[in-house]
Structure 1
Amino acid sequence: MFLDKPESHIMLALDTPNRKRSFEVLDETYDLIDAVKFNYPLILKEGLEIIREIKERYKLKVVADFKVADVPVTNNRIIELVKEVGVDVVMVHGFIGSDALLELKDIASNEIGIIIVTELTHPGGLEFTRNYSEKFAELCAFVDVYGIQAPGTRPDQVKKLREIVGPDKVIVSCGVGAQGGSFADAVDAGADFAIIGRAIYDAPSPREAVINFRKVKVEQ
């Protein structure tokens, strides 16, 4: 629907420092990955239009990992802005609540999928977000949005959250690669897409890095 059926199961986190490096990395990898994810730093530096350029040039599905987390009027404006540049999926925090999520879903219509962040992947994610991750997964099913983010650093949690949201929701898993999460373990636990950033774009050969990840999954 919003994302194509996974082939490589790899979503590239394009947390590169600038436009030049972004295009260099994608020139090497675009044909081996399923989608590309943007976070705030690159967009704050280069502007939203880089999303449109990359989508048109590489024909990739695009996820805006903006972790939307405000009152409905502000959230809705963010959705309208990313809709203009062709974003396919937006990641939002579950703690904004069901009313805000329902408004986002309405604004997004059938053009943008909503993914709820359940749990942050670093150690601090266990302090607060872990306490509510299952509730956020339940919220995904309750408001019937596209899917959830689950921590690739904790495959047991991915498996647990998959059981909650069921087989039809999309799960994307952050923290794979540089943060220590295993690509194969995250996918085997139920993630549709493993989000991989530094382990690819900081590698001497980003293309070779992607190929190696794909080999590991095939060998499992």
Structure 2
Amino acid sequence: MATFLTRLSKISKTQGSIILANDYDYSTQNLERKTIANIKNLYPFLCGIKLNFHLLLPLSSKQILRINDVAHSYGLQTIADIKLNDIGNTNKITSEHLWAMGFDAIIANPIMGVDSLKNLTKSAHSYDKGIITLCHMSAPEAKLSYDMQVKIDTKMQLYQLFLDWALLAKVDGIVVGATFPNIIKYCSQKAKKKLKIFSPGIGTQGGNPDEVISSGSDFLIVGRTILNSKNPSKTAEDLQLSSLRK
């Protein structure tokens, strides 16, 4: 079986680099049906779909497996966005449950430490699955934590340490918010293509797709901008065309 990045890169060559953040709020009914409908309606413009905690928790494992099976039938890769961060044994068991439900990758929080992150990544790769770690989130309040100055051997900002750990652990990618293009550029230049950059925060939060792509992002994670659009297919197609121009 090909690796997660190989599978994701293959589909993105023809369908662009848009990953749908299929994240609905608690008031939404029929989550499984709506998620599957989104996949069937929008798959020509996507390379993947991301499912967050608040969508996963109301669903059963069988429902999640069905969603992942439908996504895979259209060639899409699926990402469990749970910000995984715990002791090694918990990380391993959690990830194995998610692999069994059909996910291709997990978003994890590197605050667990570089050794735990290495073990998680090694385990994931043994299943041909992927690990994506937080580096700098897209929300405005992210500056309060991810820009925080820390010191281990030398002083640096937290996102710089997280990037260093991601490179040491050989993760598949990092999350850097589209609202911080200068940080995307820093990470892209330092990583030198050793990992992929995934950027949420397009549109609704203010991120500009062209600016983000030119700064070095490889994949755009887009949720409300598509889901709340009057014409989701047209919005997804426009974003796809931006990603294919890179």
- Please state whether the residue corresponding to 2:221 is helix, strand or coil: strand
Of 226, 230, 233, 1:207 maps to: 233
The CA distance in 2 between the partners of 1:122 and 1:153, in whole Å, is: 8
1:121 aligned partner: 138
Question: 1:218: how far off?
Answer: 5.7
Of 33, 54, 66, 2:46 maps to: 33
How many aligned residue pairs are there? 220
1:96 aligned partner: 112
The CA distance in 1 between the partners of 2:98 and 2:240, in whole Å, is: 30
Query: What are structure 1's unaligned runs of at least 5 residues?
Result: none
Of 184, 194, 202, 2:210 maps to: 184
- Please state whether the residue corresponding to 2:161 is helix, strand or coil: helix
The CA distance in 1 between the partners of 2:241 and 2:218, in whole Å, is: 17
Q: Does structure 1 residue 10 correspond to structure 2 residue 13? A: no
2:34 aligned partner: 21
The CA distance in 2 between the partners of 1:216 and 1:114, in whole Å, is: 26
Q: Is the 8 A contact 1:149 1:172 kept in 2?
A: yes
The CA distance in 1 between the partners of 2:229 and 2:127, in whole Å, is: 37
Amino acid corresponding to residue 4 of structure 2 in structure 1: F
Percent of residue pairs bearing the same amino acid type = 25
Q: Deviations over 1:123-151 (max 9, x none)?
A: 11000122310111111111212121111
Q: Is the 8 A contact 1:177 1:197 kept in 2?
A: no
Provide TM-score, normalisation by structure 2: 0.83
The alpha-carbon distance between structure 1 residues 70 and 166, as it changes in their structure 2 partners (threshold 3 A), is: same
Amino acid corresponding to residue 163 of structure 1 in structure 2: Q
- Please state whether the residue corresponding to 1:168 is helix, strand or coil: coil
Query: What are structure 2's unaligned runs of at least 5 residues?
Result: 149-157
The CA distance in 2 between the partners of 1:116 and 1:215, in whole Å, is: 27
The alpha-carbon distance between structure 1 residues 193 and 50, as it changes in their structure 2 partners (threshold 3 A), is: farther
RMSD value, Cα = 1.7
Q: Is the 8 A contact 2:136 2:177 kept in 1?
A: yes
The CA distance in 1 between the partners of 2:63 and 2:43, in whole Å, is: 15
Question: 1:110: how far off?
Answer: 4.0
Question: 1:49: how far off?
Answer: 3.3
Q: Is the 8 A contact 1:25 1:206 kept in 2?
A: no
Larger radius of gyration: 2
**1:110-149 correspondence to structure 2 within 5 Å:** 110-131=127-148, 132-149=158-175
The CA distance in 1 between the partners of 2:123 and 2:243, in whole Å, is: 37
The CA distance in 2 between the partners of 1:12 and 1:94, in whole Å, is: 23
Question: 1:50: how far off?
Answer: 3.4
Of stretches 106-115 and 79-88 in structure 1, the one that deviates more from structure 2 is 106-115
